[in-house]
Structure 1
Amino acid sequence: MKFNVFTEMEYVVKSASTLILNINALRTQHQTVLSEEFTIDPYIKTEELPATAGENRMVRFEVDKPQTIKVTYKATVDNHYKTVDYEGLYETAVAQFDHSIIPYLYPSRYCQSDKLYRLANDMFGNIVNPFTKVIAITDWIYWHVEYLSGSTNSETSAFDTVTERQGVCRDFAHLGIALCRALTIPARYFTGYAYQLQPPDFHACFEAYISGEWILFDATKLIPLNGMVKIATGRDAADTAIANIFGDADLTSIVVSCEPAEDGFEAFNYGPVDYKGISYL
């Protein structure tokens, strides 16, 4: 399915600064960027950085004097996904994981799976099927954590979220990841453009590695799972931040959109136990 994605961000830069933005649609085997345009007004030379943690297409540029800049990104993206029948999935032994999967089992800055081991095993450890186990995790988060805009900040971790029982999409994703890792299910943070998200914004969810597939889960249940355009994946939000600013610059406005580029799109909404998993590969 093809999507048109768009971002416009305005920054007031108060002194010489370097900005690293992570808003470009990711190029993968199953997500093709058909066309894209990244511009800065007034013009500033940019550099795309190679990914060193997770998957991303970060763009770096320097603003050498105080000024207001406008960053615009637009792209047409063709992404392919498949549905996965959870009944046929099995749990993979850690000894069989490829080395690239292992880092997604470890605790990370925002996903302290070691602190949540007892909680995860008490609540979900008796579920045998790994897909059903992750569905149970996402359902528990949905019903027991209040989605509340502005309730958390950049320091909020999964442990904080399970304690305070409130958060936004980033916090829901971190908690899902931490609980999965506590149950020896590799999990990673997923950020992207999301169709039908209200209000429009970037969206965070997570992928769990089950039976050789990275399968998408979203405990917020705010968007259709097949309406995502992937920007980045990583251990947690530290690897996938939309912006890193080195200097003195303030984001003063942002516009984000994601719309189908062709007719016939059918939203695949999150369902109950009969839900079939989405894999973007």
Structure 2
Amino acid sequence: MKIKSEFDIQFHIPKQTPIVAVLHVHPSVESRLLSADTLTVEHIVAVEERLEPIPLQVSQYIDSFGNRCSRFVAPEGAVRLSGSNVMEASETPDPQGEGLAQIPIEDLPDEALQFLLASRYCQVDEFGAIAAELFGSTKPGWERAAIIRDWVHDKVAFNYKAARSTKTAMDVFTERVGVCRDFQHLAITLTRALNIPARYVTGYLGDIRVPYAGPGDFSAWYQVWLAGQWWNMDARHHTPRLGRIPMAFGRDAADVAITTSFGLAELTHFHVESNEVDCDGRPVPLPTSTDPSAASPITLQ
């Protein structure tokens, strides 16, 4: 399966401002690229009654989580970030690790330990008693992780209007409403509180072989560490899905912001698409109703 992803993000910059962007696919999946993974940053200026894009200098680095980051200085005025890529993706939905046991903390790899701790949006230290009361009687391991995921899916309502940058897992637990990142923050926090490492993921998750769900956006999900590897979990789309393309991993959304501006940056345009394409690069038509075979879980035997 081939998936084409693209974005066009524009800002009005009142004053020259340094910006860091996380808009490339994660280095761990670069081997699946079928095209260049482009990022173009432009200053849009008026020249003789027409708009002309002037490319800006961009440098890259790998952060402490292994994410590919881009940095540049945005001048005053209109700035556009755009890019695209084509990826080879699996024809099967998210594998499911049913029956996997929980790994004792003392046996976890060093790099997994940070994903048990409290972070900006995930107040693990405040959820110990809550998690124990709700899920302490469940079987440790995959069963417990999946029950937490499904509980958050059932208890939290999705509403774009409920989004705010300061919303924490405790806010989501109290208000029971949010956007995709809020679902994941609450599920991550409850999972960590019961000693299963969980990390936040941002990336593309388009309408791949499922009915159209509305305008595109970057998506969020999370992963849990079991049996020596990370497994995809998604408290909003809790049915296994096709076409996840990770861009960045972190403790929570604070570590993987799509753009971080060190000054004011007013968003003026936002467009994201991620679609399955045929061999000629044309979008593959979507079904009008959910195909049960596309949502069937793949179970580890």
TM-score strictly above 0.5 = yes
Within 5 Å, which residues of 2 pair with 1:84-103?
Answer: 84=95, 86-103=97-114
Within 5 Å, which residues of 2 pair with 1:33-52?
Answer: 33-34=33-34, 35-41=36-42, 42-52=54-64
- Of 259, 266, 281, which aligns to 2:275? 259
Partners in 2 of 1:13 and 1:277 — Cα distance?
Answer: 49
Partners in 1 of 2:293 and 2:170 — Cα distance?
Answer: 31
- Note the C-alpha offset of 1:30: 7.5
- TM-score under structure 2 length normalisation: 0.83
Query: Per-residue displacement from partner, 1:244-271 (whole Å, max 9, x unpaired)?
Result: 0012221100110101234799897666
Partners in 1 of 2:99 and 2:238 — Cα distance?
Answer: 27
Q: SS at 1:71's partner residue? A: strand
The aligned residue for residue 218 of structure 2 is 202
The aligned residue for residue 48 of structure 2 is none
- Note the C-alpha offset of 1:83: 5.6
The aligned residue for residue 242 of structure 1 is 258
Q: SS at 1:150's partner residue? A: helix
Aligned residues of 2:94 and 2:232 also touching (Cα < 8 A): no
The aligned residue for residue 47 of structure 2 is none
The Cα RMSD (Å) is 2.5
The yes-or-no answer on 1:70 pairing with 2:86 is no
The yes-or-no answer on 1:226 pairing with 2:237 is no
- AA partner of residue 170 (structure 1): R
Pair 27,33 (structure 1): closer, same or farther in 2 beyond 3 Å: farther
Partners in 2 of 1:30 and 1:208 — Cα distance?
Answer: 22
Pair 202,87 (structure 1): closer, same or farther in 2 beyond 3 Å: closer
- AA partner of residue 8 (structure 1): D
Partners in 1 of 2:72 and 2:243 — Cα distance?
Answer: 30
Q: Name which of structure 1's ranges 153-162 and 23-32 shifts more when overlaid on structure 2.
A: 23-32
Aligned residues of 2:135 and 2:148 also touching (Cα < 8 A): yes
- Of 166, 178, 183, which aligns to 2:177? 166
The aligned residue for residue 121 of structure 2 is 110
Q: How many percent identity over aligned positions?
A: 28
Partners in 1 of 2:98 and 2:23 — Cα distance?
Answer: 36
The yes-or-no answer on 1:139 pairing with 2:140 is no
The aligned residue for residue 21 of structure 1 is 21
Query: Per-residue displacement from partner, 1:111-140 (whole Å, max 9, x unpaired)?
Result: 011111111111111111411111111111
The aligned residue for residue 6 of structure 1 is 6
Aligned pairs, how many?
273
The aligned residue for residue 128 of structure 1 is 139
- Note the C-alpha offset of 1:18: 0.9
Partners in 2 of 1:37 and 1:30 — Cα distance?
Answer: 12
The structure with the larger Rg is 2
Pair 83,173 (structure 1): closer, same or farther in 2 beyond 3 Å: closer
Aligned residues of 1:218 and 1:225 also touching (Cα < 8 A): no
Structure 2 gap ranges (5+): 43-53, 208-212
Q: Name which of structure 1's ranges 77-86 and 7-16 shifts more when overlaid on structure 2.
A: 77-86
Q: SS at 1:74's partner residue? A: strand
Structure 1 gap ranges (5+): none
Pair 44,268 (structure 1): closer, same or farther in 2 beyond 3 Å: farther
Partners in 2 of 1:108 and 1:268 — Cα distance?
Answer: 38
Query: Per-residue displacement from partner, 1:68-119 (whole Å, max 9, x unpaired)?
Result: 1211111112245886453441111111111111100111111011111111
Partners in 2 of 1:256 and 1:67 — Cα distance?
Answer: 22
- AA partner of residue 107 (structure 2): Q
Aligned residues of 2:93 and 2:240 also touching (Cα < 8 A): no
Q: SS at 2:174's partner residue? A: helix
The yes-or-no answer on 1:155 pairing with 2:156 is no
Aligned residues of 1:224 and 1:267 also touching (Cα < 8 A): no
Partners in 2 of 1:85 and 1:254 — Cα distance?
Answer: 33
Aligned residues of 1:194 and 1:223 also touching (Cα < 8 A): no
Aligned residues of 2:93 and 2:294 also touching (Cα < 8 A): no
- TM-score under structure 1 length normalisation: 0.89
